[in-house]
Amino acid sequence: MNHSSAEQLQQVAASALAVGSVKLVIGHAAGAAGDRAAACFVDSDDNVGRLTIASPGVATNLAVYATRPEISHLSPIAVVADPPTLRALVGLLQEGQVEADRLRVIALWPQTAEVSQSPSDSADDDAGAWKVSGSVQTMEQVLASHEWVAHGQWTAAAQADDLVERLLKMSDAERWQFWSAEFARCSRCYACRASCPLCYCRRCVAEKNQPQWIDTSATPRGNFAWNVIRAFHLAGRCIDCGACERACPQGLPLGALNEFLRRTVAEKFDYRAGLEVDSTPPLADFRTDDPEEFIR
Amino acid sequence: MTPLTLKIDRLGDLLAKMAAAGFRIVAPVASAESDTSATAPRPRQAVRFAVVGPQDYARVDLTATPAAEGIKRFFLPQSEAVVRMRQNEGQSAQVSDISPDAPPTIIFGARPCDAAALPVLDRVFSWDSDDRSWSHRRQQTLVITIACQSSDAACFCTSIGGAPDSTAGSDALLVPQDDGTMQVRLVGERGEKLRQFFDADDAGSAAPREDATTGDSGKAGQVTVVPPRFDISGVRSWIENNFDDKLWDQAALACLGCGACTYGCPTCHCFDLVDEGTEQSSLRRRNWDSCQFRNFTEHASGHNPRPWQTQRYRQRIAHKFAYFPERFGTTLCTGCGRCVRVCPAGVSLLEIVGRIAAKGKIEEGRADG
């Protein structure tokens, strides 16, 4: 690797930390087991050397940390952010979960149409495939950039199109059977929820027990309720990063649920999540001229 | 005693014999639905433990190491009904225990790090009272383990006192040989129950192995080497003396607070009791629970003694490497490394315990000096 993107990233992080324009940089480091990238928190320019650019196929979405109370005393923070991470941050700004003046980013822009997402890639194999923004930026600056226009919708999430097409061709009974078999493996570890930047609720519906909305048991009933309700809560909010599917230790094809919801929201509301801070997600919106009787 | 052997091309016959003797067989099988998980970038669970019948014998896959999935759920089910409650006409209610009812079972093809957890958990499940569900399943189940031929960077059994060919918790250990056969080592009285299923090794093929086999931990056959990752000797005392160390904050920052590590862990055993159903008819279920969840320690008052992820993360490590050893004399970890592999945020228990071990070593040195 010659003068790599990872080194550029380290330089940008080091100078921002040195002048104090950010207090904490949240990025990725090589994982200990040589497989998954590790989330990495750097609070001094002395230890930026661990920062690397992780293959999106082995990394969690770092926007998930922007709402963590553990780091609220450190601000501004800078999140190392590829387009899906930026979209998640847009979602969090849109929903009032992070304050714009406490948030900076070091944007990563894909240089090639297909940045590899092979899980066998080591953490910085893809470093050359990314362009690192020359300095720490505010979200406002990023969203006004031509890179955002060009790459804002880029995703590394595994293509769920084939599976969605197959599911759409199935009868209701076949689809029920398919998801029953998949959800049967769900262990209710909630890694999907924990790794989702938009699943930020301090008290999740899954934990409400007066009344108990969702059975906590890993039984067909409980598992269906959990996975379907989570999908519904992400409708029009999921920014299509694939972090939930990558996190699932049981390999559930959660991307197919997300993709189906994304298509439905696009078709019914002409909306895609995570692109504009000032827009309102369709399911959080209300119109007095709504064509549906029941909602007026 | 004549050594026993298993020819791997006769595996189907072996499983059929066991089934004919009345055993339910659980074995790792290549997933039938693997084509659907093609969308998952990492179909990590392509091989899973399942109850197998004759139609599945050809799918039994003994090559997956480290095992993607453990065997804990066959002893401590993820969700298990323990009490049934019914409201009768009028005022009375009927409350009845549901007895655990597991058929005689052979788990075939477990890995040593998963089997080693069983005697560790026996200690806690027979401690202040006998956990009848656990004991019943333990009694009903024989475990045939296969020594590991490969390992990865997350494996650390040898740093915890285990080995890729350890017999701890197993009733029989299969050791793959160069000629493609498996040497069979029966363990204890329970292991003797399995003798009937294996063939005595015929002369010739066994001879060279006999020389190499020196007792239980002999390295005969194709057993992988798991290098030592840390020296555990100073870990417990460091944890006991450094409850408020900065290390916990640093280590836990990346932790997302899901339960993937605990549910994959062969030794994590916490559970929750919940009542599900209606006022007329309900079940009390025992479900896996995780100390990494925020509501694990939340009191009815709303007070939470572990409100921060740092505290929850420290609890998991300290329970495994200090509190459990203090009470039960053994570490609550077998070094399987599954927690490292499944963590969505790349948090590595191996790395963190390694750091603690290094600090513990320094403190030990100071104390000695």
* pLDDT tens-digit series, residues B179-219: 889 999 999 999 999 999 997 765 444 444 444 444 444 44
pLDDT at B43 over 80: no
Interface touch A36/B341, C-beta < 8 Å = yes
Cβ-Cβ pairs closer than 8 A, A with B, add up to 171
pLDDT at B33 over 60: no
Which pLDDT score, from 0 to 100, does residue A34 have? 60
Which pLDDT score, from 0 to 100, does residue A289 have? 87
Assign B252 a pLDDT band (cuts: 50, 70, 90).
very high
Assign B39 a pLDDT band (cuts: 50, 70, 90).
very low
Residue of chain B whose Cα is closest to the Cα of A201: B294
Assign B1 a pLDDT band (cuts: 50, 70, 90).
low
Q: Please list every residue in chain A whose beta carbon sits closer than 8 Å to the beta carbon of residue B274.
A: 212, 215-217
Q: Tell me the C-alpha to C-alpha distance, in Å, between residue B241 and each of A54, B317, B360.
A: 36, 14, 10
Hunting for tokens 């093609």 — which residue is that? B38
Q: Which helix (H) or strand (E) holds A79?
A: strand A77-81
Q: Does B225 touch chain A (CB under 8 A)?
A: no
Q: Please list every residue in chain B whose beta carbon sits closer than 8 Å to the beta carbon of residue A119.
A: 41-42
Identify the weakest region by mean pLDDT among A24-38, B71-85, B228-242: A24-38
Which pLDDT score, from 0 to 100, does residue B44 have? 44
Distance between CA atoms of B266 and B338, rounded to whole angstroms? 9
Identify the weakest region by mean pLDDT among A98-112, A127-141, A176-190, B25-39: B25-39
Assign A56 a pLDDT band (cuts: 50, 70, 90).
confident
Distance between CA atoms of B168 and B331, rounded to whole angstroms? 14
Which pLDDT score, from 0 to 100, does residue A28 have? 96
Assign A208 a pLDDT band (cuts: 50, 70, 90).
confident
Strand ranges (E), chain B: 4-7, 24-30, 47-52, 79-87, 93-97, 105-110, 141-146, 172-176, 181-186, 199-200, 271-277, 281-288
Interface touch B340/A33, C-beta < 8 Å = yes
Residue of chain B whose Cα is closest to the Cα of A213: B276
Which pLDDT score, from 0 to 100, does residue A112 have? 66
Assign A118 a pLDDT band (cuts: 50, 70, 90).
very low
Identify the weakest region by mean pLDDT among B46-55, B69-78, B154-163: B46-55
When CB atoms are compared, the residue of A117, A247, A253 closest to B37 is A253
Assign B32 a pLDDT band (cuts: 50, 70, 90).
low
Question: Which long-range CB contacts under 8 A does B185-191 form with residues at least 24 apart?
Answer: B185/B4, B185/B216, B186/B4, B190/B142
Which pLDDT score, from 0 to 100, does residue B94 have? 92
Hunting for tokens 């209701």 — which residue is that? A172
pLDDT at B38 over 70: no
Which pLDDT score, from 0 to 100, does residue B218 have? 43
- Tell me the two tokens of residue B111: 């890995």
Which pLDDT score, from 0 to 100, does residue B321 have? 98
pLDDT at A33 over 60: yes
pTM of the model: 0.91
* ipTM for the predicted complex: 0.91
Distance between CA atoms of B157 and A54, rounded to whole angstroms? 28
Assign B45 a pLDDT band (cuts: 50, 70, 90).
low
Share the mean pLDDT of chain A. Answer: 89
Q: What residues form DSSP beta bridges with A106?
A: A80
When CB atoms are compared, the residue of A60, A193, A218 closest to B345 is A60
Interface touch A162/B38, C-beta < 8 Å = yes
Share the mean pLDDT of chain B. Answer: 89
- Model confidence pLDDT, tens digit, residues B263-318: 999 999 999 999 998 888 999 999 999 999 999 999 989 899 999 999 999 999 99
Distance between CA atoms of B193 and B245, rounded to whole angstroms? 50
Residue of chain B whose Cα is closest to the Cα of A206: B295
